[in-house]
Chains A and B, each alone.
Chain A
Amino acid sequence: MSATVASGGPYARGSAYARAFHGLMVRDARVLRRELVAFLLRTVMNPLLFVFVFTYVFPKIGRGLGGGPAGGVSFATVLVPGLIAVAVFFQGIAAVALPLATELGGTREIEDRLMAPLPIGLVAFEKVVFSTFQSVLAAIVVFPLLYLIPAEPVSVTIASWPLLIGVVLIAGLLAGFVGLLLGTVVPPRQIGLIFSLVVIPITFLGCVYYPWQQLGPIPWLKVLTLVNPLVYVSEGLRAAMTPSLPHMPVAAVLAALIAITAALAWVSTRSFVRRVTD
């Protein structure tokens, strides 16, 4: 075992890193399996209540959410990409930031993983990769709720599977890096605060409940929301799943998502390495 990182060439080194990386994934998978119920509750609760109240209860009691988007599409349809975006995003942040707060806090229990024979930046990246997996899982769990609960018609047409999968994957990575940054920057004891200070504003101003282009009447908000990465996730999913709704051009969405993810990857990895090295 001890000879795994041999002095051999780059190939031997790469394969040793890959094995260590895989070991970290195996550990995370075991922990997730143990906490699966908590994971599901965390993922399902928000979208479940949201679609239940706004697309089941409201129509039944004769209250609609005013107007409704262009094209006569139901509010329930608007919510499908939006709430999947939130689930992916929220899950990605939580899956990295919450455990990190404990691991970096009093117990320093991340120490053994930092001693694994691979560069420390890859220990951070493994967390993000694993959280992306959880984000995808969240999307898969949430979709049926959004489709089945509403009392009004939901029209989902997958315009492009590659786009759908691509946006979910990039969004998962992006959210994981946000979680990594928050988990290393926010003092562990205040990690709960990030949900009221970061996650909630991002969600409500993330074009989750309304397409971006319909913000026309409030121009300042339309511009301001462009700094919110969740906007691109919602819009990207709208383009992929509900193409009849207005949405941003796909190229703009992808460019923004990739640029933001790359920038966050750099900043958050640096922040992690600094946080764990004296």
Chain B
Amino acid sequence: MLAVDPRPLELRDVVKSYAHGAPNAVDGIDLVVEPGELFGLLGPNGAGKTTTVGIATTRVAPTDGRALVNGIDVVEDPARAKASLGVVTQFNTLDRACTVRENLDFHCRFFGASRRVAQHRADELLERFRLADRGGEMVTALSGGLAQRIQVARAIAHRPTIVFLDEPTAGLDPQSRIALWDVLGELRTDEGLTVVLTTHYMEEAEQFCDRVAIIDRGRILVCDAPDALRREHGNLAIATLGFADEPSASGAAARLRGFGTVDEDGATLRVRTPDGAGAVPGLVNAAGPGLRDLSLAEPSLETVFIALTGRELRE
């Protein structure tokens, strides 16, 4: 009997370098995901999120460190690790030679289900994911949102305890996104599924994740509940002011210091201010005639990210 149940996911100082001399894609990530959590890996494109998921799901060989899924080392025993996890990749990897129903059916067969059990499970999933009338269609004919729903259904078909989703909402229409979050919510309540997902949509991470890790350049900058991160790192609104040229920006910088900390970045200034929207008229006045545009980010994971990296996420 084990004293402690293994964690769904445990990464210990995981490193991945793709090419000699290039910066590490993943540069020493430590991470523990608790049972039943919805955990978000948040960061810009190229931050190392997909590689991290790739390592955890046995598809990328780590250069260093250990990755354990349900206590199973993914490098030492990938076959067993694969049996206990599910993956939804960023791109549609449904089997184009098969129908919707067959995609689910065969997936179960791969995991050792008998013909009858697999067919039963496929029907059950079609019902649950409201796909019952689409079962016989070839997957080539499906829209993006629908294809993605089937990928989620397929990922959980063998009843894994943890499922990884890489950028699940990227490229989805708003309705499909809502549907996806609903499905994930149901699966967590009904089956106690642990969910790890990557996203570069801050709002979603903030709204749905129990905890997020903000990743940049292969490292975890911070890891906590969204609320806690906001309290600790991002309780200031960030005003971004664009100027006509650098001289007018640097001229305005001195006048803006009264509102909060000012970061200079060429013709752009970032002012971190506790006043939020109330500061806007004052900022415009103080900025002077060189000001071309102004945007304000209320305290959010977005401002946390800017505070930590000095950059905006969607660059």
Contacts and interface: CB of A to CB of B under 8 A. Distances in A.
B218 to A, nearest CB: 14
Interface stretch (A21-29, A193-201, A243-251): A21-29
Contact of A278 (B54, B84, B95, B157): B54
A17 B82 CA distance: 12
A278 B106 contact: no
A276 B60 CA distance: 9
B79 A117 contact: yes
Interface in B86-133: 87, 89, 91-98, 102-103, 106-113, 115, 117, 121
Nearest to B108: A1
Interface stretch (B158-166, B249-257, B273-281, B296-304): B158-166
A81 B284 CA distance: 88
Interface string A224-267: 00000000000000000000000000000000000000000000
A107 interface: yes
A222 interface: no
B194 interface: no
Given A2-B159, A107-B91, A108-B91, A30 B112 contact: no
Interface string B36-51: 0000000000000001
Given A23-B110, A113-B110, A278-B54, A2 B83 contact: yes
Interface string B121-153: 100000000000000000000000000000000
Contacts of B93: 107-112
B107 A5 contact: no
A122 B80 CA distance: 14
A68 interface: no
A2 B194 CA distance: 15
A2 B54 contact: no
Nearest to A20: B110
A35 B138 CA distance: 14
A42 to B, nearest CB: 16
A120 B56 CA distance: 16
B96 A109 contact: yes
Contacts of A4: 83, 111-112
A107 B110 contact: no
B65 to A, nearest CB: 15
A114 B60 CA distance: 12
B159 to A, nearest CB: 4
Contacts of A111: 59, 87, 89, 93
A118 B79 contact: yes
Nearest to A7: B80
A119 B160 contact: no
B230 interface: no
Given A23-B110, A112-B107, A117-B83, A278 B60 contact: yes
B235 interface: no
Contact of A2 (B18, B51, B84): B84
Contacts of A7: 80
Contact of A31 (B98, B117, B157, B158): B98
A13 B58 CA distance: 18
B98 A117 contact: no
Contacts of B94: 109, 112
Given A1-B158, A30-B98, A107-B96, A117 B111 contact: yes
Contacts of B157: 1
A225 to B, nearest CB: 37
Given A2-B160, A117-B111, A27 B83 contact: no
Given A1-B117, A4-B111, A111-B89, A116 B82 contact: yes
A34 interface: yes
Given A2-B161, A31-B98, A112-B93, A19 B112 contact: yes
Contacts of B96: 102, 107, 109
A238 to B, nearest CB: 37
Nearest to A25: B109
Interface in B201-219: none
Contact of A119 (B51, B60, B79): B79
19 contacts: A1-B117, A1-B158, A26-B109, A26-B115, A30-B98, A31-B97, A35-B97, A99-B97, A111-B87, A112-B94, A115-B110, A116-B110, A116-B111, A117-B79, A117-B83, A118-B79, A119-B79, A278-B18, A278-B61
| A-B pairs, 8 with minimum CB distance | A23-B109, A4-B112, A116-B110, A19-B112, A117-B83, A111-B93, A5-B83, A23-B110
Given A30-B102, A107-B92, A114-B59, 13 more contacts: A1-B108, A2-B161, A3-B83, A5-B82, A16-B83, A23-B110, A102-B96, A112-B103, A112-B107, A113-B110, A116-B111, A117-B80, A117-B110
